[in-house]
Amino acid sequence: MLGGAVSGGTVLGDTVSGGGIGLIDEDSVVGLEGGAGLPFVMDGVVIRGEQRGRQLGFPTANLRPPENRALPPNGVYAGRVTLDRFPGRWVGAVNIGVRPQFETALGLLVEVHILDFNGDLYGSRLHLELVAWLRDERRFDSVDDLVAQIQRDLEACREAVPL
């Protein structure tokens, strides 16, 4: 199952599992375009974040949310990434939100940790396709707990995203 390692999440992608979509039975959702608007696609130029991700061990390419367009709900998603300056496709672990674990002045961001990628992306254009919803963004008891959860998120992303 997609994102099987994640407990308590409703995974939307090729498969819909769990509850969470009251009123609509699962069979009717599966036939829709990914259910709940997924896959969601966006393009953006990578901007500088607060560099905290690097210290946590998960550097992120940050994108400003698109103007005049609704974003999917805040949360952690598995996605697929392509880059204008580098040929190839990557799995992305995506956080859409405001990072409640930290004090941050940047507000709502789309942050993408690109698995197995090492390079300077500032100013490049990033194309992102969201494939599956993993969990809500939240504050943990400690930063170590957040880091442990992100580690699990990355494994779930590898499982959820065929390249």
Ligand X SMILES: Cc1cc2nc3c(=O)[nH]c(=O)nc-3n(C[C@H](O)[C@H](O)[C@H](O)COP(=O)(O)O)c2cc1C
Q: Which residues bind ligand X (CB under 6 A)?
A: 49-53, 56, 58, 60, 62, 76, 93, 95, 99-102, 111, 113, 137-139, 146, 150, 153
Q: Among this protein's residues, is 137 annotated catalytic? A: no
Q: How many residues in total does the chain contain?
A: 163
Q: Could you report how far apart the first and last alpha carbons of the chain are, in Å? A: 16
Given the residues 50, 111, 129, 137, select the one marked as catalytic: 111
**Which is closer to ligand X, CB of 28 or CB of 145?**
145
**Which is closer to ligand X, CB of 63 or CB of 150?**
150
Report the residue closest to ligand X, judged by CB. 49
Closest CA relative to residue 131, chosen from 94, 89, 82:
94
**Which is closer to ligand X, CB of 125 or CB of 152?**
152
**Cβ 105 to ligand X shortest distance, Å:** 10
**Cβ 5 to ligand X shortest distance, Å:** 13
How far, in whole angstroms, is CA 115 from its chain's centroid?
Answer: 12
For residue 156, what are the CA distances in angstroms to 1, 25, 51, 92? 10, 25, 24, 11
Q: Which residues contact 148 (CB under 8 A, 6 or more apart)?
A: none
Tokens encoding 143: 């930063």
**Cβ 81 to ligand X shortest distance, Å:** 12
Enzyme catalytic residues: 111
